Chains A and B, each alone.
Chain A
Amino acid sequence: VVGPVSEYPELDALVDDIRRRSDAAFSDLYRLTSDSLASFAFSMLRDRRLAEDAVQQAFLELVRSAHTIKGDGRSIRAWLFRSVRFTCLDEIRRRSRHPESLTATTPDTAVLPDGIEIPEMDPDLEDALGQLTDRHRTLIALRHVVGLSGEEIATVMEMTRPAAYAATARAERRLRNILLTVESRDESASSTTKRIEDHR
């Protein structure tokens, strides 16, 4: 289990240079955060290309807003996750308005360079996540895929820390109950199939 990370000394050292839009500082920031941001975006969009584009979009926005960024490395990291979240939400809304574009951007049809793997999704997990709301899916991803702390989740989701804890707990309970239902349904279906085969 990825626990909450509370300190980012490497990011803290970059903050001043980020505000000055130092090229090297942005490179270091990208190296330190791009994979987590991409994973988060991928959990929301289920599309690797769009997830990577969301990461790039977040960094470009950070370049424009660098001089206004306040706080330490944790704040910049939370800022990037919030930016990625907004980009992903925009994409999800766009998909809902234009469902025909969904086919063109699904991982199965996306053209990927050689050697790049798309993680295989557990069908039960995919089914359970599909039954969650976008908000609950985002909370689950931030907590269990990226490993943000409750305070960071609160910043990214723009809510108070107690509200973030409560919402994350609700999302976790919901996912657990759905998984239990899905897995029990699968067991029931497999046992029924087995009985039918035995009967034959």
Chain B
Amino acid sequence: MEKEKWIEGVINSTKGKAMAEVDGNFTARLLARIEEPENAAPVVSMKWLSAAACAACLLLVCNISLLHKWNSIKQKSVNSSIVSSGSNYLPEGLDQDYNFFN
């Protein structure tokens, strides 16, 4: 019962409240903001924006060069494996005296 009364009291605590008023110089401050919106500093400065753009470009160049490098290494390894497997079929690797009619 006491608990219920407390809860009701809390939920209804804002009933009958008066409207709060803003500070006296609020309108003057707002007008100053509206009249000079261009003076407001941007959230991210141009310096940081250009730095981010440069970093993105650098990352892109690094990625492309790595891809190139990776492709050439892959190509080289394929070529060398073909060359090395070819030695298995050289005449010195085979039994020269093998009798096929036996």
Are chains A and B native binding partners rather than an unrelated pairing?
Answer: no
